[in-house]
Chain A
Amino acid sequence: MLVNTILIHYPAELCDAMFETFSSMAAEDARFLLAYGGPHAEFAKIQYPDKIFFDDLHLRGQASPQNSWPWLKAASEWTRSHAAEATAVHFTECDHLVFRSDYWRRMEALLLSSGKDFLGKDCFCCSNTNFHFFLEYRDDPTLLALLGSISKRDDPTQLWTALGNGMLFRREALEALVAATDSIPCYTEILIPSVLFHTGRTLGSIDEISEQFDHVRFRPNFSSAEVLSLMREGTSCCHPFKDRERLPELLDKILERHRVQPS
């Protein structure tokens, strides 16, 4: 069983619609944790019971550097106390849409069969490349000091990256990660894979082993027409879809499709 925690800032009604859809699709395969980053008044209106609130600025909008550490920590604690049987924890954002009800089962199976502790979209060692985050952080004294203090690797300066949306951890790897250090000011997409790598864990890219994340990307945004077409083709999921106006209608379509042909 997998825990899927979703970072969301939408109005309460939309949050409830999304979690109702995904919960009924996943059935016994997954449990969901709503991580709310919107206004507190709206959080109070959310009916979905498994929810946590964040007022940390590093999880909001374009705050720089964006840092998911509080989210990881809270999700790890929640999993330990509420879903002790979970083998994996999956972190997605609210603009990550799932179309197939076997998505969560497949994600868990992929992680377990890969033999890795962590799978991410486009996860790779970015040292000695022209990747802009490597160029930005290769000389960052705070990050290098942290990696130097925890590293079990030959080269403590090696940096890894993965897309922030869609990170998938073995539960014990997540627990080891949050225990490794307190939050430091560094961008999530460099911080988390790098710390995980230096604590001796194994990392892999979903793209290397599966087509599951072929339609997950940083940008451009998917339009609702594209999303409908992906759904018809039998795609598992897509990211990013930011058209909030069309989301309720799409969620209805996803649910309807699931009822007609549960996978």
Chain B
Amino acid sequence: MAGLGMTRFLLHLAKPFLSEAERERIFSKPLTPDRLAAIRSAAYARVFGKPVVCSLCGKPLGKVICRVRYGRMDVLGLHEDVVRVDFYDRSTLRFRHARPESCKALQHR
């Protein structure tokens, strides 16, 4: 993965091509090293990740990459929405929307 300086440079190059919402989300706060690392992980997952869908409504939650480090599993790419996770069986994790606003299955209109 690119270093943080390169991430900052690429972000400014990509700025004109981002949506207004993305621009606001990324550039409304200072690009600290922590934020740059998070943005880099998110971009990496968006390009190389595999889609995960909500187990309730079937809508995509994002493209994710799983990696194990320091005895924990990182799930890169789950930054778009608020997500709840539990075990589907002994070795499979199941993801679903947490916010009623995002999930048709949580709405009873």
Contact = CB atoms under 8 A, between A and B. Distances in A.
Interface of A: 121-126, 128-131, 205, 207-211, 219-220
A129 B84 contact: yes
Given A121-B101, A205-B101, A130 B78 contact: yes
Interface string B50-91: 000000000000000000000000000010001111100000
A208 B107 contact: yes
Given A126-B82, A128-B84, A211 B109 contact: yes
Given A128-B84, A129-B82, A207-B107, A122 B21 contact: no
A98 B84 CA distance: 33
B98 interface: yes
A222 to B, nearest CB: 12
Contact of A219 (B24, B83, B85, B107): B24
Contacts of B108: 208-209
B31 interface: no
B60 to A, nearest CB: 16
A205 B108 CA distance: 11
Interface string B93-107: 000001111000011
A260 B101 CA distance: 33
Q: Is the interface of A mostly helix, strand, loop or mixed?
A: loop
Interface of B: 20-21, 24, 78, 82-86, 98-101, 106-109
Please provide the 5 A-B residue pairs with the shortest distance between their CB atoms, ordered closest to farther. A205-B100, A129-B98, A207-B100, A131-B82, A207-B101
A123 B100 CA distance: 8
A210 B82 contact: no
A215 to B, nearest CB: 11
A130 B99 contact: no
Given A124-B99, A211-B109, A220-B21, 4 more contacts: A125-B98, A130-B82, A207-B100, A209-B108
Contacts of A129: 82-85, 98
Contacts of A130: 78, 82-83
